[in-house]
Structure 1
Amino acid sequence: MTAPTTTPGDPLGATTVAAVQRRTVAVLVLTQAVGAVGITIGIATASLLARDISGSDGQAGLAQTFQVLGAALASYVLARVMAMRGRRLGLTTGYLLGACGAVLAVVAGTIDSMVVLLLGAVLLGSTTAANNAARYAATDLAEPAQRGRALAIVVWATTIGAVAGPNLTGPAAALARWLGLPELTGPFALGSIGMLLAAALVSTLLRPDPLLLAREVAGTAGQVPSGTSWGRVVAAVRERPVLVAAVVGLAGAHAAMVAVMVMTPLHMEHGGAELRIIGVVISVHVLGMFAFAPVVGWLADTLGRPVTLGTGGVVLVVALVIAGSAPEGSSWQIFGGLFLLGLGWSFATVAASTLVADHAPLDARADVQGAADLVMNLVAAAGGGLAGVVVALAGYRALSLGTVALGLAVLAAAVAAHRLTPVAAAEHPGHLTE
């Protein structure tokens, strides 16, 4: 994509498209770095706030579960917006809705309303959906052999805000006390500012829109996709069954990560761990999720998506076994297990997402990607919802070891993707002009 030539299917010229791709990735990196603060700053306190409002450990995971459920619903809604109007409007909408959710979380803590908290959590999921969609936006104009790296660099950018976010838990709590608010609402107040800034950045700078430009390059600009959104998804899956393996890998990894992560703060608090230490553990976990993404993307492009996906499954299983051995409070097992849990998630998510980007047809690209994230988040929401019940009845160890089944599902998805990818690559190479 470096020769300054034009073709009937590429009226802008390859050089121009390559320049737009570089700018797109740069804008998405900046947006992710800022928006991630809004997403992750409340992770360490969401379950604690839900527990305080409800008065029940069994309901502690509901806030995170409803946020994941909101991400699932928003994935579908935002995908429809992007399919019709492009990435920029969809991403901006997601960040703005998330900011509204953060404000509702503050209100919920102030008036002790579980209903308001769960409503806010659903809207907060819109920011998660927007960040998820941003990784796909990075692949709209990327060369097929570089999609993994393009997607991964945007995932990596989340590290900046995601690691800083949980570490702002202490200062945010102090700010809340100074304002006369419950200290657990402070992270959500600061998070709303990050989401508003992310919306401003993407709305202002993501021009031209990468998805709309990809359609223009392919000569399909202005064409209205036939059928319904779900109809296009079903047709794509029937034609390219490797997409099923990719979605299973996404869903299994995300559900495993969410189920254990949401209950870790409560497990640590039961052992007397301070909020500051809980925030550090979550930061280490988030570091594993995002910091090594560029390496994972390079591996996905070099060794192949299925091998990288399978590696993620192995790391997830090891992580869950280690976390399951952690005593209450702070321990090396909880630090190591949560770090590896994030790293396994990174391997699986980058590889599976790149598979989706490879094989989603252009006329249904946003639809297929949105449906993949919808399934991923619905399964994770179910896992998060059950996590609190499992911990209440059988303990954190039972939750961690039981979740090993999801890591094994990721491994199975990798095997299936390996069998299907050669056929899919031969029949549908996934070129930009497809």
Structure 2
Amino acid sequence: MSKSSIKQEEIINSYIESPDKQRKLYRRTLVTVIFSQIFGGAGLAAGVTVGALLAQDMLGTDDFTGVPTALFTLGSAVAALLVGRISQKHGRRFGLGLGFITGGIGAIGVIIAAVLNSIWLLLPALLVYGAGTATNLQARYAGTDLANSKQRATAASMAMVFTTIGAVAGPNLVNVTGEFAVSMGIPSLGGPFILAAAAYILAGIILLIFLRPDPLLIANALAVRSVGARQYTDNQLGQPLERRGVILGASVMILTQIVMVAIMTMTPVHMKHHGHGLGDVGLVIGFHIGSMYLPSLITGILVDKIGRKIMAVASGVTLLTSGVVAALAPADSMVMLIVALSLLGLGWNFGLISGTALIVDSTTPTNRAKVQGSVDVLIALAGASGGALSGMVVAHSSYAALSFTGSILSLLLIPIMFWPYNRGSNLNNQG
């Protein structure tokens, strides 16, 4: 065993023996994740705000304007799997840190593609950029590693709520970053990706430097020490109760992701067709992303207090309302578009935090990061599908038809949540 391994084991053992040190590490982990998420949110917002518009400019058609969202979401699927595996083996610090830095490199590739007007460079760059999206989502799990069962949703929400600062600032800086880009000889739509590159790389550096000792490694050691290694094997996931919880949590997050990504992706294009400028688009998307993250702390408390399933059903009802409002909103009404996209973000927020809590409840430290990464792959693929199909639906039908379709899909959350009840599952005590 190397000296560094021996030293790491000594550090881990010192935390196992000290509940006070564990509490302090829990708080320090949350602070570190919070700072990384402020920058991560800014990086995330760039692709959401102008990705579809950049592709529209390059391709000259609306049919494939959903492709950028599909690509960076597909890239996030691959990254989610890799980040989860790396985190399980080496800890959250390396998994999340490398994931954010990779996303920053992808954003640099998008900037170069914009300068060269190269769609063939844009496509792979967006795939790599997607690593930041996956990492931004997986960071929410880091806060739960040392949380008890009554703190898990709240801990996940703490990471998410501070994403709001960067995520809301990003879309509302599209004009400023666009002007900065033009001054450097870069097309204005490449501006937000300059912000994304810097933000993602900074987020990664923060995690690599400050997320130590690693909370997942400490949690794993605590679990093995307190309960016994025999009970903490990957086979535990094979038990019906845990598997059902994973399926429920994944189903909630997959459905909310499809609906949210599909409607969100086409809203900027819909607005542009009806005379809205980039400032208007940035305002609407800013409200949307703010609603995705800002309510997180309250949502986390509600999920912990009144139950995972009740909040998942609330997610379906909120997304249903959002789709109806978006479909019926006059295209020139900024107020109605803001209401629709805010409800869309809020419904996604309810679904993500309740689903996250279900996943954490159903896993153990020795399989948690791996399972979380695998579930996030499915979420990302669902988002990629929603993004890719949304452009085709709008091109051959209408934005209203897309919004109504999203409303119908969101209703599926209600029967899914009642599925365990019909089988007498013990998950009933989770909400």
Q: TM-score, normalised by structure 1?
A: 0.91
Specify the code of the residue in structure 2 equivalent to 1:125: G
1:117 is displaced (CA, Å) by 1.2
Alignment of 1:101-140 (within 5 A): 101-140=106-145
1:111 is displaced (CA, Å) by 1.4
1:419 is displaced (CA, Å) by 6.1
Structure 2 residue runs without a partner (length 5+): 1-12
Distance in 1, Cα, partners of 2:363 & 2:354: 14
Specify the code of the residue in structure 2 equivalent to 1:312: S
Specify the code of the residue in structure 1 equivalent to 2:426: V
Q: Deviations over 1:181-228 (max 9, x none)?
A: 11100110121001111111011100110100001112369x89999x
Distance in 1, Cα, partners of 2:37 & 2:419: 32
Alignment of 1:187-226 (within 5 A): 187-219=192-224
2:280 aligned with 1:284: no
* Cα 1:71–1:145 shift into 2, 3 Å: same
Distance in 2, Cα, partners of 1:237 & 1:381: 30
1:166 is displaced (CA, Å) by 0.5
Distance in 2, Cα, partners of 1:211 & 1:167: 35
Alignment of 1:243-322 (within 5 A): 243-322=246-325
Alignment of 1:36-51 (within 5 A): 36-51=41-56
1:13 is displaced (CA, Å) by 2.2
Distance in 2, Cα, partners of 1:260 & 1:421: 36
Q: Deviations over 1:46-65 (max 9, x none)?
A: 10001111111111111111
Q: Secondary structure at the match of 1:272?
A: coil
Alignment partner for residue 56 of structure 1, among 55, 61, 66? 61
Specify the code of the residue in structure 1 equivalent to 2:411: L
Q: Secondary structure at the match of 1:328?
A: coil
2:372 aligned with 1:369: yes
Q: Which residue of 1 aligns with 2:104?
A: 99
Distance in 2, Cα, partners of 1:161 & 1:10: 33
Distance in 1, Cα, partners of 2:240 & 2:43: 34
Q: Which residue of 1 aligns with 2:21?
A: 16
Specify the code of the residue in structure 1 equivalent to 2:61: S
Distance in 1, Cα, partners of 2:417 & 2:427: 14
Distance in 1, Cα, partners of 2:240 & 2:81: 16
Specify the code of the residue in structure 2 equivalent to 1:350: I
Q: Are 1:271 and 1:330, in contact at CA under 8 Å, matched by a contact in 2?
A: no
* Cα 1:329–1:115 shift into 2, 3 Å: farther
Distance in 2, Cα, partners of 1:296 & 1:363: 27
Q: Are 2:96 and 2:135, in contact at CA under 8 Å, matched by a contact in 1?
A: yes
* Cα 1:236–1:133 shift into 2, 3 Å: farther
Specify the code of the residue in structure 2 equivalent to 1:57: D
Specify the code of the residue in structure 1 equivalent to 2:103: G
1:402 is displaced (CA, Å) by 0.8
Distance in 2, Cα, partners of 1:219 & 1:245: 26
Q: Which residue of 1 aligns with 2:5?
A: none
2:154 aligned with 1:154: no
1:39 is displaced (CA, Å) by 1.1
Distance in 1, Cα, partners of 2:238 & 2:40: 34
Q: Are 1:134 and 1:154, in contact at CA under 8 Å, matched by a contact in 2?
A: yes
Q: Are 1:312 and 1:344, in contact at CA under 8 Å, matched by a contact in 2?
A: yes
Greater alpha carbon shift after TM alignment, 332-341 vs 8-17? 8-17
1:123 is displaced (CA, Å) by 1.0
C-alpha RMSD of the superposition: 2.4
Specify the code of the residue in structure 1 equivalent to 2:58: I
1:16 is displaced (CA, Å) by 1.4
Alignment of 1:324-343 (within 5 A): 324-343=327-346
* Cα 1:413–1:274 shift into 2, 3 Å: same
Q: Which residue of 1 aligns with 2:184?
A: 179
Distance in 2, Cα, partners of 1:185 & 1:71: 20
Specify the code of the residue in structure 1 equivalent to 2:168: V
2:408 aligned with 1:400: no
Distance in 1, Cα, partners of 2:134 & 2:206: 17
Structure 1 residue runs without a partner (length 5+): 1-7, 430-434
